[in-house]
Chain A
Amino acid sequence: MNDLPRLLSRLLPGDPVGVIFPDGAEGAVTADRLALIKKGRGPGAIVRLVDGTELPAALDYATLFRRLSASPNWFKPHIDHLVNLDRLERIGEASSDRYQLHLAGGAVAPLTNVYAPDLKSRLSLDSLDHVIPFNRPAYWMLKENLRDIEAPINKMEKPELLATFGASFVVSDIIGNFLWQFVNRIRKGVQPPLTGRNVRSLWYAIKPALSKLGVIHGMDHYKTVSKKLADYVACGMMRYREFGFAEEGNWTIGTRRPEIIIAAEKRSDIGYLRLLRKSFGTSVIALGGKPKTITSEYFTDAFKAKVTDYHKPGRVLVIGLIDYDPSGWIIGNTFLDDLRVFGIKRARLVNLITPANYTPEEIEINKYSLLDPEAGDDSEDPPDGGYATTLEKWMKEFGGINGEPYGLETDSMILDDAKVRRLIKKVLDSLKSKGRVTG
């Protein structure tokens, strides 16, 4: 019975609050009808009712705050807001590290990070990101509107498709459900995998059903199949391998130093990478631009089988032969992200293509401008609004060459095989001295 005051506060969280109605009349609302109060212009306060009405308060914010916050049902999420916790309906993300509180009547209050632990404690929540226990596949099913549909979607006739997905169906919804159903049918053993084939085979499987709905012209839905599949793999709902797809295999796991991965940006460098692998015993991969998720999945499966302690800090190192420019930066980061997605969370990247590995003369010969004259970027000075966003960020991070927007191509290094080998050896020796490399 000790919590009786708190329970009574839920029924009536404070004294009535004086308000001014739109016609100028003064009145009062009972505290249970309040969703939140917030600071208005100057010292004034605005009250927001549970029916969505917003009214100026008769008292100033500081006085109202003092009065209401004496009741245990009120919570301060932000310096200028006070919310009635009993009217809190949802906690949503405002951005990657900020939350918003959604209250009855559509009121929204920001949650400042410093108040988040108190909110968690008041509501007995383990996390503000998601509910615990969390079920990743079930969450993604909810998010992607995936259902457990029994009849094979790709074999449905038009009436059945319309009955299942509605007259105002969304093609990506059909494709998402088809992929989810297809992988589950493989898992149950009622559908053989597409061994040796590729993502296009999935597109050809669903194409007739989409054709019956008259939606295969005008848009490239193969891209939707490919994109949805990559998304579902990245969030752990399914694996490419489950479909039995063939993969180009522009990679090889090392023998003596498999935990070191030499990664080249260009696919055409795979032959050269294999020569390096022969010499150093490292793993190698030709990323082919931004690496494909299927390549990263197959590579990491083989890698983890060989390097079983991949999770140890400092164990996995990527030596990059990746262009020193914004695109190369994205490619390197995408590869590290992919490694993380597939469980290799602590890999580091050391890119050999960096001005520090060139003499001033070599830089002068090999540097190239990152400005695009066709886009009007013909001056070496930053434009008024700064460089294009990615270039700007890259310049901030790496500084270009002597502070100017110049980059270096991988080929400017690879042509000098002796130099590449010398630099790789230097990296390996430095790791050896720290006891991080076998062999």
Chain B
Amino acid sequence: MPRKKSPDAPIDNETLAKLYALVVRLVSPLPPIPVQGVDFIALIRPEDIAFITPEKRGVKIVDREGKSWPRYDNITKIEKRLSADPRFFKAHRAFLINVELVRGIKVGKSEKAPGKVFFRGLPDDLFAEISEDALPELKKRLGF
């Protein structure tokens, strides 16, 4: 019968890694993303981002409350900036999504009608798209 560990015993690396992964699911290891407002800079914490998609003059960051923020950047650069945060997933060439906020997906029927990703707290008409190629990986991450 294995001996019960003392509460004061040092935490082994495996437990620490699990703890770290758990904490990262709650709070991002990255600093907030600054976005431009009128006469102010707003700071969006990565864990509050639902998805990011390109728009005419940069990208649009949609937060967990459905608010939309402009950033004069391209999606590739943003993807790179957020690459150290495992919650972000490139669901489509035009959508970077926060997997931790996903509440459901709807599989598309063809390349022209890609699948949709829905987010906790956001209405159904505020969704991201998912490509056929990215679908298996997203399903895996969501525990399908």
| Residues of A participating in the B interface, judged by any CB pair closer than 8 Å | 1, 3-4, 7-8, 10-11, 86, 88-93, 102, 122-125, 128, 130-131, 133-135, 137-139, 141-143, 148
Contacts and interface: CB of A to CB of B under 8 A. Distances in A.
B142 interface: no
Interface in B39-56: 39-43, 45, 56
Nearest to B16: A1
B56 A148 contact: yes
Contact of B37 (A90, A123, A133): A90
Given A90-B40, A90-B41, A102-B40, A1 B20 contact: yes
Given A92-B40, A102-B40, A137-B57, A10 B27 contact: yes
A429 B34 CA distance: 53
Contacts of B37: 90, 142
Contacts of A139: 36, 72
Contacts of B29: 3, 7
Contacts of A128: 41
B31 A123 contact: yes
A135 B71 CA distance: 9
B26 interface: yes
Contacts of B20: 1, 4, 7
A35 B70 CA distance: 26
Contacts of B31: 122-124
Given A90-B42, A90-B43, A131 B71 contact: yes
B86 interface: no
A122 B43 CA distance: 13
B133 to A, nearest CB: 29
A143 B70 contact: no
Contacts of B27: 7, 10-11
Nearest to A138: B57
A58 B131 CA distance: 56
B32 interface: yes
Given A123-B31, A135-B72, A139-B36, 14 more contacts: A7-B24, A90-B37, A90-B40, A90-B43, A91-B40, A92-B40, A92-B41, A93-B39, A131-B72, A134-B36, A134-B72, A135-B58, A138-B58, A142-B38
Nearest to B81: A124
B19 interface: yes
27 contacts: A1-B16, A7-B23, A8-B23, A11-B26, A11-B27, A90-B37, A90-B43, A91-B40, A91-B41, A91-B43, A92-B39, A92-B40, A92-B41, A102-B40, A123-B32, A123-B34, A123-B43, A125-B41, A131-B35, A131-B41, A134-B36, A135-B57, A137-B57, A138-B57, A138-B72, A143-B39, A148-B56
B98 to A, nearest CB: 17
Interface of B: 16-17, 19-20, 23-24, 26-27, 29, 31-32, 34-43, 45, 56-58, 70-73
Given A1-B20, A4-B20, A125 B73 contact: no
A131 B36 contact: yes
Nearest to A1: B20
A122 B31 CA distance: 8
Nearest to B33: A131
A293 to B, nearest CB: 23
The 10 closest A-B pairs by CB, nearest first: A135-B72, A92-B40, A138-B57, A131-B36, A124-B31, A10-B27, A91-B41, A1-B20, A131-B34, A90-B40
Contact of B43 (A1, A4, A89, A130): A89
Contacts of A1: 16-17, 20
A130 B36 contact: yes
Contacts of A7: 20, 23-24, 27, 29
Contacts of B72: 131, 133-135, 138-139
A142 B55 CA distance: 14
Contacts of B73: 133
B17 to A, nearest CB: 7
Contacts of B40: 90-93, 102
A125 B58 contact: no
B116 to A, nearest CB: 26
